[in-house]
Amino acid sequence: MADKKEKRKNTSLRLRAKTLKALKLRAIEEDTSVQQLVERLIEAYLAAEKEKRE
């Protein structure tokens, strides 16, 4: 995962209400934030895609 001191950029997402609710609940269950959860999921996706191409 990216270093916490690494500069961050803002973005916005439009999600279905039920998707956002589920995401928030999962973040609570994992004792993390939605931002950290989304970043972790995106990084895992990108790593998997990179491995597929190698």
User: Given a cut of 60, is residue 2 above it in pLDDT?
Assistant: no
Domain that holds residue 40: 17-53
- Whether 31 is covered by a domain: the verdict is yes
What's the rounded Cα separation, in Å, for the pair 38 and 41?
5
- Whether 9 is covered by a domain: the verdict is no
Tell me the pLDDT band of 51, cut-offs 50, 70 and 90. confident
> In this predicted structure, what is the pLDDT of residue 4?
65
* Structure token digits, residue 25: 């609940």
Average pLDDT over residues 5-31: 95
Average pLDDT over residues 49-53: 86
pTM attached to this predicted model: 0.77
The count of domains in the chain is 1
- Whether 8 is covered by a domain: the verdict is no
The secondary element (H helix, E strand) that includes residue 49 is helix 34-53
- Whether 22 is covered by a domain: the verdict is yes
* Mean residue pLDDT across the chain: 92
> Cα–Cα–Cα angle for 23, 30, 13, nearest 5°?
25
- Whether 42 is covered by a domain: the verdict is yes
